[in-house]
């Protein structure tokens, strides 16, 4: 049985597992677990898990700044697969205070951390408090900041002294090409923005298409350093407040 005490051994055990084997084991062992769905190629993970467990819990961060295409795509997956996606919204008073003080595009001037903190991290932190574990589509090949992503870990960003949270990244050892092979092989619907040159997809003002020789995360927060291209969802050092 997977638990917080044996997670390192589980990570070693999973080293040669395919994503489906990882999901099968994790979903069998842990009830209170959910998948984070961004509306990008992590749809492969959602569909793979749905095939194993039809009532899989899925949540998505409704930041208020997603592309219309991404919103429509999330809705398409919700309806076609009958998945009860939980959309997490920012806390209204906190968001209003922020946009009143700094406007709608302050991230271009002083970085994305504060906006991501309010629109993504705070609602995510609140949601994760109610889960034993979460599953993400992170891969090692996505960026310099993700090159050491383990398959199974204790989530040090979102654990608290009272609550130890587990995190699983079944695609950690897969490449982008393998994810797309799965999407094409099983005819999985995908976000139409991918056909317009978008690879990594986040909020509309902070995502742009990339050229053939660019790394996928170069289309995210392109005005910032490569080592800063995390929104805090997967960065151990980030501290977001819920106040």
The answer to whether 50 and 57 have CB atoms below 8 angstroms apart is no
116 binds ligand SF4 (CB under 6 A): yes
205 binds ligand SF4 (CB under 6 A): yes
CA angle 141, 142, 144 (to 5 degrees): 85
Task: Find the part of the chain contacting ligand SF4 (CB under 6 A) among 168-176, 183-191, 202-210, 234-242.
Answer: 202-210
The answer to whether 133 and 4 have CB atoms below 8 angstroms apart is no
Interatomic CA distance for residues 233 and 230, integer angstroms: 7
CB of 104 to ligand SF4, least distance (A): 9
The enclosing H or E element of 80 equals helix 68-80
88 binds ligand SF4 (CB under 6 A): no
Catalytic residues: 231
119 binds ligand SF4 (CB under 6 A): yes
Interatomic CA distance for residues 187 and 194, integer angstroms: 15
- Of 25, 57, 67, 120, which lies in the binding site for ligand SF4, with binding defined by CB under 6 A? 120
Sign of CA dihedral 186, 187, 189, 193: positive
143 binds ligand SF4 (CB under 6 A): no
CB of 75 to ligand SF4, least distance (A): 19
- Of 2, 77, 115, 193, which lies in the binding site for ligand SF4, with binding defined by CB under 6 A? 115
């Amino acid at each position: 049985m997977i638990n917080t005490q044996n997670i390192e051994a589980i990570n070693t055990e999973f080293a040669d597992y395919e994503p489906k084997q990882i999901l099968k084991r994790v979903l069998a062992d842990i009830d209170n677990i959910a998948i984070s769905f961004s509306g990008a190629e992590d749809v492969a993970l959602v569909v793979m898990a749905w095939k194993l467990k039809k009532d899989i819990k899925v949540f998505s961060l409704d930041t208020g700044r997603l592309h219309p295409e991404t919103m429509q795509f999330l809705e398409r997956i919700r309806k076609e697969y009958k998945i009860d996606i939980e959309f997490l919204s920012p806390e209204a008073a906190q968001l209003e205070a922020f946009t009143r003080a700094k406007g709608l595009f302050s991230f271009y001037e002083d970085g994305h951390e504060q906006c991501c903190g309010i629109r993504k991290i705070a609602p995510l932190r609140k949601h994760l408090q109610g889960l034993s574990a979460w599953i993400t589509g992170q891969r090692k090949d996505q960026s310099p900041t993700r090159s050491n992503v383990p398959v199974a870990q204790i989530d040090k960003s979102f654990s608290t002294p009272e609550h130890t949270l587990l995190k699983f990244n079944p695609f950690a050892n897969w490449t982008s090409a393998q994810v797309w092979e799965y999407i094409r092989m099983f005819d999985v619907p995908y976000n139409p923005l991918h056909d317009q040159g978008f690879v990594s997809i986040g909020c509309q003002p902070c995502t742009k298409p990339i050229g053939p020789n660019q790394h996928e995360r170069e289309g995210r927060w392109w005005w910032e350093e490569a080592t800063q291209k995390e929104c805090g969802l997967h960065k151990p050092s980030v501290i977001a407040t819920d106040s």
